[in-house]
Structure 1
């Protein structure tokens, strides 16, 4: 009831509603686009996908544009954020349409990856901008907890819904990956047009500095150093970011494992290059809906996290809420994951979606409260960069550890240990949560 009342209070703000609309459209398009790429790269019957191939694809798509993070932060603190949301989504619409053309043309893989990289590079600006703009559409700082529970989680659910649409289309016999990517381009276009409902200066930054493009590189380096220096003075935010990075690493490793289980272990029982028990096309068709179910259950976990976190974070404190989420994951992940069978692993997908999103909501709130607005864009861009680098590093580890069919006791045990270590790192010292807090920025 408390969450419902606070959500209603937020929805009364026109700026919050409009920013939320942009996020929902933008991230639903992300879900459509990304799952369309997964269907093309991982589940095409003619491709013999391995964990190493998945890791390589993630590195191509994530690592290069992670370098955009610091540049995005400097620019977000100097550009009108409404204009970033408008131009970024319109540009992604054009680039995604180009990806659809490349799929149809059957071009070499490097051209396809370059196109996908361009779309996801712009995505860094948009997602960081959405987070940095959120404090400008709420009336009071205390509403940030609920806003962070509702807005990013609603975006994640929108991405899940977009992904679910792709899975549903495949179940009906739709086989055009290019057509699905083009659908994502149309939704990106809608997100860009929705941004026009926000005022040009409504989302900040509060102080708009002029930036000459020839000085962009120098300014970016100084901006990155300033952002890091500011973060070192905000120890609570730095700890939360470290804990969230570790949880993202764990989630990434398990994502690759589930992909391989869906592709091989839960279908024909054979890995890439092995003799299978059935035809490859049939196995691929069976594996894709299982992946869709895993995505849907993880999305349901995000929704439950949005409902629980405002209550839990206020009762325990944001840091202890992150610690509790990591501890729950440390206990349940091996208990369910070591079976390597669909029902327990899919149950784990729901629970890990819940714990990961609960920790992210609390982390977002800590960073937004502890970081000054003039540095917020840079810090959120660094946050985003850590997020992607952790996922790629996890995929690389999974490529080394996972056998062809995706069953690895070593990987499951290692992830459980990392979750436990994260719980110890994130928790507040005994008694600290009961002490009066003097300022949000202090540790």
Structure 2
């Protein structure tokens, strides 16, 4: 795949952007969740993650329409530059001891722009590789991109250990994420204008009307494409499960296991490993068993892993569960990405990817927030783990119904 120069350039831009994302989010998590100068509880943790996950629910419909209307190269350059600017503002506010509401608001902006960039990169991929290589290209881009994001988070943990765990150290750590945005923008500038699409504009002449209709149009296209609809159902279930597990993991690492941000870093490392293994194996698994069977089996494995590894509530089993759930989630995601890129026309692909992120981030935030209302303060909540496993099985039923007749 690296023989394609456009793919190499797009991949490098993705790596830079996602490295910065991982560093920024880990730096902010350390500042809010594991900062001796700040107290936290399950609801505060839920608020923090909502700030990191909800942005695209607000800007998604707008981003989708714009990515299908404006030169994606120009959008990616501008978005990366703007993200870098807001990262600097967030770092300064953190050093100044700004309250959580201010930090969360800035995080909303930074991560919202990041989601915009991610959708733009995904929608541009079919312009730099042949259609027959989309599955492999997508597996490489999304999998290694996720691994690079984990590496960025690891960098945040290391830098914060050197600079301090207080507001000043956390702010300086978070500011380093600026490097990722700058590099991502510079790399994208190397593409010729118009080379990343869209090739055609299937939108109303009035920009505001097109923007307002972005989410609706993406939903309409997804609903009439059975392979994409079925994939959305499966991934929706996984992201709801992941929201619950995210809250439980943070609470367990801070209170039950007393492992702090370093423990959370270990979980992130195993999460990245699961993503990497999925990226290396998904294409072959799908080739052997078909996409429908692969996704269905993945959801069953996820449910079994939660019950077998989540219920014991030990450090070791929690680590193992992180690996399995990340593997399953990435397998499902890669299958859904390929369906969108293969079965959705270029004139609508940006809007569908925008809908994609919007739905799944909302599902994750809602599940995380509901879990915060009932979770035990130390994270030991077997009832929530059983509920999460049941969500996987309900999602499996919905996936089977939506994908009937399509193998």
Q: With the length of structure 1 as denominator, give the TM-score of the two structures.
A: 0.87
Of 13, 31, 35 in structure 1, the residue corresponding to residue 4 of structure 2 is 13
Distance 1:135 1:247, change over 3 A: same
Instruction: Identify unmatched segments of 5+ residues in structure 1.
Output: 1-9, 268-285, 434-443
Displacement of 1:62:
3.0
Name the CA distance, whole Å, in 1 between partners of 2:257 and 2:213. 50
Q: Is the 8 A contact 1:323 1:422 kept in 2?
A: no
Displacement of 1:149:
0.9
1:384 is matched with 357
Displacement of 1:209:
7.5
Distance 1:397 1:196, change over 3 A: same
Of 189, 199, 222 in structure 1, the residue corresponding to residue 213 of structure 2 is 222
Residue 411 (structure 1) aligned with residue 384 (structure 2): yes
2:291 is matched with 318
Q: Is the 8 A contact 2:51 2:107 kept in 1?
A: no
1:165 is matched with 155
Map 1:300-315 onto structure 2 (within 5 A).
300-315=273-288
Q: Is the 8 A contact 2:309 2:320 kept in 1?
A: yes
SS of structure 1 residue aligned to 2:200:
coil
Q: Is the 8 A contact 2:201 2:347 kept in 1?
A: no
Paired residues, number: 403
Of 182, 200, 203 in structure 2, the residue corresponding to residue 207 of structure 1 is 200
Q: Is the 8 A contact 2:95 2:172 kept in 1?
A: no
Distance 1:209 1:423, change over 3 A: closer
Displacement of 1:37:
0.4
Q: With the length of structure 2 as denominator, give the TM-score of the two structures.
A: 0.95
1:275 is matched with none
Of 394, 397, 417 in structure 1, the residue corresponding to residue 367 of structure 2 is 394
Displacement of 1:408:
0.4
Q: Is the 8 A contact 1:329 1:351 kept in 2?
A: yes
2:189 is matched with 196
Deviation by residue 1:1-43 (Cα, 9 ceiling, x = unmatched): xxxxxxxxx1100000000000000000000000000000100
Name the CA distance, whole Å, in 2 between partners of 1:342 and 1:153. 26
Name the CA distance, whole Å, in 1 between partners of 2:57 and 2:216. 16
Q: Is the 8 A contact 1:320 1:426 kept in 2?
A: no
Name the CA distance, whole Å, in 1 between partners of 2:265 and 2:308. 23
Q: Is the 8 A contact 1:322 1:427 kept in 2?
A: no
Displacement of 1:158:
0.6
Moved more, 313-322 or 354-363: 313-322
Distance 1:251 1:370, change over 3 A: same
Larger gyration radius, structure 1 or structure 2 = 1
Q: Is the 8 A contact 1:29 1:162 kept in 2?
A: yes
Residue 50 (structure 1) aligned with residue 41 (structure 2): yes
Distance 1:82 1:260, change over 3 A: same
Of 97, 103, 111 in structure 2, the residue corresponding to residue 120 of structure 1 is 111
1:178 is matched with 171
Displacement of 1:172:
4.6
Distance 1:371 1:208, change over 3 A: closer
Distance 1:430 1:193, change over 3 A: closer
Deviation by residue 1:120-155 (Cα, 9 ceiling, x = unmatched): 12112101101101111112x221111111101111
Q: Is the 8 A contact 1:318 1:363 kept in 2?
A: no
Name the CA distance, whole Å, in 2 between partners of 1:430 and 1:59. 34
Name the CA distance, whole Å, in 1 between partners of 2:326 and 2:31. 25
Name the CA distance, whole Å, in 2 between partners of 1:182 and 1:32. 9
Of 29, 33, 36 in structure 1, the residue corresponding to residue 24 of structure 2 is 33
Residue 145 (structure 1) aligned with residue 118 (structure 2): no
Residue 79 (structure 1) aligned with residue 70 (structure 2): yes
Deviation by residue 1:332-387 (Cα, 9 ceiling, x = unmatched): 11111111110011111011111111110011011111111111000000001012
Displacement of 1:221:
2.7
Displacement of 1:260:
0.3
Displacement of 1:60:
3.6
Displacement of 1:211:
8.2
SS of structure 1 residue aligned to 2:372:
helix
Displacement of 1:166:
1.4
Name the CA distance, whole Å, in 2 between partners of 1:126 and 1:353. 23
Name the CA distance, whole Å, in 2 between partners of 1:26 and 1:60. 19
Name the CA distance, whole Å, in 1 between partners of 2:405 and 2:106. 52
Deviation by residue 1:385-404 (Cα, 9 ceiling, x = unmatched): 01210110111121022110
